[in-house]
Amino acid sequence: MAKNPGIKNLTQLGKNISTPASPEEAVLERVPNPQADTNYLARFTIPEFTSLCPVTGQPDFAHLVIDYAPGKWLVESKSLKLYMQSFRNHGAFHEDCTVAIGKRLVKLLSPKWFRIGGYWYPRGGIPIDVFWQYGKIPTGLWVPDQGVPTYRGRG
């Protein structure tokens, strides 16, 4: 670990950390990108994302897909996992959760390009999909489909 100068500043990796009480309290961390001179896509898939309806307090479930073309920084994955878990007791609408996650990651990482797809399971019989993007896709970057089919119910 000591060979990577960005690792020594991490506060969560390799430690027993409790789930943050809220997204605002969650600490997102980054590490230097050793391939910063190369255009490539990194993907995080969160198939069991949970937050709360801000009106009823009932749980909402989503499948999130985060794609980004890293610049100088990579998100440290344990801190991302804890950040995502912090939404379990957080009340917000689908659109707010999805876009807030995207904006916070863009602010932390300053990526070349970023997108998030929030594929929310039905609430009141209506599934809600939310998409947010930052920047333009770098020339020559392979950007695969997010691979999440539209909601079909029993049809």
122: number of Cβ within 10 Å? 12
Is the CB of residue 143 less than 8 Å from the CB of residue 100? no
Active site (annotated) includes residue 53: yes
**Alpha helix positions (H), the chain:** 77-85, 94-109
Annotated catalytic residue within 53, 67, 96, 97? 53
Annotated catalytic residue within 60, 96, 129, 145? 60
d(CA 32, CA 16): 23
**Alpha helix positions (H), 10-140:** 77-85, 94-109
Active site (annotated) includes residue 97: no
Which residues are known to be catalytic? 53, 60
